[in-house]
Amino acid sequence: MLLRNVFLLLLCLVAVSPSRADDGYRLWLKYDRIADAAERQQYARVAQFVASPGTTPVLRAASAELQRGLGGLLGQPVPVVASAGSRTGGIVLRVEAPARAAGQPLKAEGYRIFSEKNNLVITGPTDRAVLYGAFALLRQVQTRQPLAGLSLSSSPRIEYRMLNHWDNPNGTVERGYAGSSIWKWYELPERLDPRYTDYARANASVGINGVVINNVNASARYLSAEYIGKVAALAGVLRPYGQRVYLSVFWAAPKVLGGLSTADPLDPAVKQWWAAKSDELYQAIPDFGGFLVKANSEGEPGPQDYGRNHADGANMLAQALGRHDGVVMWRAFVYKAGSADRFKQAYEEFQPLDGKFDPKVLVQVKNGPIDFMAREPFHPLFGAMPQTPLVLEVQLTQEYLGFATHLVYLGPLIKEVLESDTYAKGPGSTVAKVVDGTVDHHALSAIAGVANIGSDRNWTGHPVGQANWYAFGRLAWDHELSSAAIAREWTKMTLTTEPAAVRTLTDMLGQSRNIYVRYTMPLGLHHIMGESIHYGPQPWLAKSGRPDWTAVYYHKADSIGLGFDRTATGSNALALYKPAVQQEWGNAQTCPLNYLLWFHHVPWTQRLSTGRTLWNELATRYYTGADSVIWLQKQWATARPALDPALYADVAARLQTQHKEALWWRDACVLYFQTFARQPIPAPFTPPTRSLADIKQLVQLYQLK
């Protein structure tokens, strides 16, 4: 015991060595020793030991995390014992039936932390609840909140809190900007990379309880016996941290793997193939979570290939799951070439199917109607399918947000959609309440984030990208948390606890998304980024494989004005929303400026609520947005004394790139739209020194293969 304690102490000392550069690997779970001795002693008085029965792998994971975290934060060993007995001044883990978890009723994963006989007790109805409570207690210490007399309880508002990985069998990650896949398929199942455990710990610390491990543009290979064994090995790593694995499935797998002549969901042989495959999966992975499906979208096969609809396909898979405890999440991201307005297509295909889905089916809907733009109105399906549980899908990987060189904190973006009022059952029917099931009284609820995780040492490419993983998990657990509070937590746990620096960095994070929107797609402009790679500006793009892959399809710039008319005089997509929403967005004179060009074709000379004409307001936003990146640089520099030098240098260099590319966006867009507006750059801004032809040549270089 003495030798073990000495070893733990040495580990703690190594962990806080000032010579160790912060490479970002530890994410927000750094557990560095608290510098102030008096503060350390305050926490040490109530964290002298951890008492855990350790009867399940999950409880053992919880006690090990507390030992690891408290040992590092306090700079001294924290032993784990089977029972507190008569000891006091420690932390007791206990699984109790809901009736004995006093205070408010707790869901299966809800925890309670309270004082009892001079000990802190972490309890909940399940071992998973206790695990989440353990991480909550560590968060209290990491953010320097008091433990004495602590009384805290929390239950998740959403049942399925998922990360969707877009990872492929060959190790690539679609729309991934942090290296290759973390899943090393050629090593599995024999070798389990220790990184998998650290990934599971990070997920558990923010309450994520499900992982779809592969791309929605799925390979049938994942359903082969070889890969089921590999997936089962990953499931074994994630299970002690409360996470289930799910698979994205390729609709034509019965043909590719099963040798059938069809994948028709109503064909008996197809039904039998999927039922047998489900049994095979559950035999290998007893807690397998279920299927995620992208079908009849962007060239993927699906039930419509056989004259069936989405409900036919989803229900067949749900029935194939049979008695197993799993669900089907069917993506609503569908669009076909030739439509006058892609905005409407998912609604037109899915809303008529409301009430026709199996109880095991949830329909997964992107936050907005186009495709993860920097700012979108909420998807009109939210509030329009009362008989169907809907999954909110948001994108954490920065496909349209500057990849891994632009600092963009997505807490405000996720909150913006969650707080949007659908008016489905009158005022207050927010997207959050639709998704968590309270508006329509659904038993199932889910939220999904497209992961931004890769093999880079720091996990997310841009170090601040970690904040988006963190924010998604925290909002999935409790969508009433503010994005600022989450940014403050993440900053304290990841960057610094120095108060002035925390304030500076929290403000910086909070402003970053709005800054990005201003210098890329302000006033509701959308989908004007580079073709295919989705990087940089290309508002002049007029030819592509299909019209709705061009920029001109969306911005509709002409000599009169700018923007997509989606009112009754245009595509009438606005009619997909409830009357109260239509009233808010339907008048160009009163429409919020953030959504103006989403719904209206506005004359260049029309005066907006800012007092400027559309052209002057557009130019002003591009210029001030690009200039605001300099403000981001100054904020980061202000916090420098409180930051790790290696981390500071990394982000500072990326901010230089961000400013260069913000100017690229500014010059490209103002010069291009100026050819239609035919007005000068408004004072006091200086016209770009490079020409539109220069900018187009730069974009061509990015498109080279």
Query: Which tokens belong to 174?
Result: 């679609």
Q: Which contiguous run of DSSP H or E holds residue 271?
A: helix 268-284
Q: Which residue has the tokens 């297509």?
A: 345
The catalytic residue among 298, 348, 419, 480 is: 298
Rounded alpha-carbon distances, angstroms, from residue 639 to 497, 503, 648? 11, 9, 9
Query: Which tokens belong to 668?
Result: 């490209």
The catalytic residue among 279, 354, 371, 478 is: 371
- Tell me if 8 sits within 8 A of 50, measured CB to CB: no
Q: Which residues contact 171 (CB under 8 A, 6 or more apart)?
A: 180, 181, 184, 185
User: Where would I find the H helices in 403-477?
Assistant: 411-418, 431-435, 466-477
Which value, to the nearest 10 degrees, does the dihedral of the CA atoms of residues 62, 64, 70, 71 take? Answer: 180
The three-state secondary structure class of 697 is helix
348 is catalytic: no
Query: Which tokens belong to 51?
Result: 């008492």
- Tell me if 437 sits within 8 A of 389, measured CB to CB: yes
Which value, to the nearest 10 degrees, does the dihedral of the CA atoms of residues 681, 682, 685, 688 take? Answer: 0
CA–CA dist 445, 158 (Å, integer): 5
The catalytic residue among 22, 300, 399, 565 is: 399
Which value, to the nearest 10 degrees, does the dihedral of the CA atoms of residues 602, 625, 501, 506 take? Answer: 20
Beta-ladder partners of 123: 94, 112
Q: What share of the chain is helix, strand, coil (3-state, %, to 5)?
A: 45, 10, 45
Q: Which residues contact 518 (CB under 8 A, 6 or more apart)?
A: 621, 622, 624, 625, 628
298 is catalytic: yes
Q: List strand residue ranges (DSSP E) for 600-639, in order.
A: 602-603
CA–CA dist 616, 682 (Å, integer): 6
- Tell me if 158 sits within 8 A of 435, measured CB to CB: yes
280 is catalytic: no
Active site residues: 298, 371, 399
